[in-house]
Structure 1
Amino acid sequence: ILLGLFSLISLSHSQCPGGIPAAEVKGFLDTHNKLRQSISSGTYVAKGKTMPAAKTPIPDLTWDCEIEKSAQAVANTCVFDHSTNNDNLGENLYMNQSII
């Protein structure tokens, strides 16, 4: 089960106490923000074609320790369903199985 909660609210880039290591957070944000910047600037290529620039600049994602804590709490329940007490946070749920 993959659970992701993302927010543009926080300005904190610090490692969260007991959370994901700072190097992993930095790697995630750097990769995501590089893609966002390429879309924003009009340098993103999809299916061999350069996509037009965004009409308004796309801001970089930032990390939020409270959202990380909330996401981990939901993941710890091992229930594959949207949570009911999400404080207006978005959730993306994904599951994949392979038959061998």
Structure 2
Amino acid sequence: MKISVERTGGIAAIPRVWTVEARSETAINQWQPIVEACPWDSVPRTPRAAAEKFAGQQPDRFIYAIRAGQHRAALPEQAVTGPWRVLVDSTREAAEASRAEGRQDGASAG
């Protein structure tokens, strides 16, 4: 299962993407409950839909586009709470740890 979180918007408008590939049975068993805890059917699926739904509430905030397997969601920063916050933070931490391990193997930071 591939999980990705893309953060766009904000004052600088610099996008960031964090991706995790859960391939082993152990990894899938770790990520599946986190993914399934999120209420995918109750949120917009695209950043445009999220921007329209939450328009004017808080300009210059981040929008998170989240993908996990076949699931899609897009949420403004203020809506990334509860299970969404766990999924976003876990994905970011795992992706950053993976990048750090790559740098320790002699790869350049990027």
- Is the TM-score greater than 0.5? no
Report which of the two structures shows the higher radius of gyration computed on alpha carbons: 1
* Greater RCO (CA < 8 Å, at least 6 residues apart): 1
Question: Normalising by structure 1, what TM-score?
Answer: 0.29
The answer to which structure has the higher helix fraction is 2
Instruction: Judging by fraction of residues, say which structure has more strand.
Output: 2
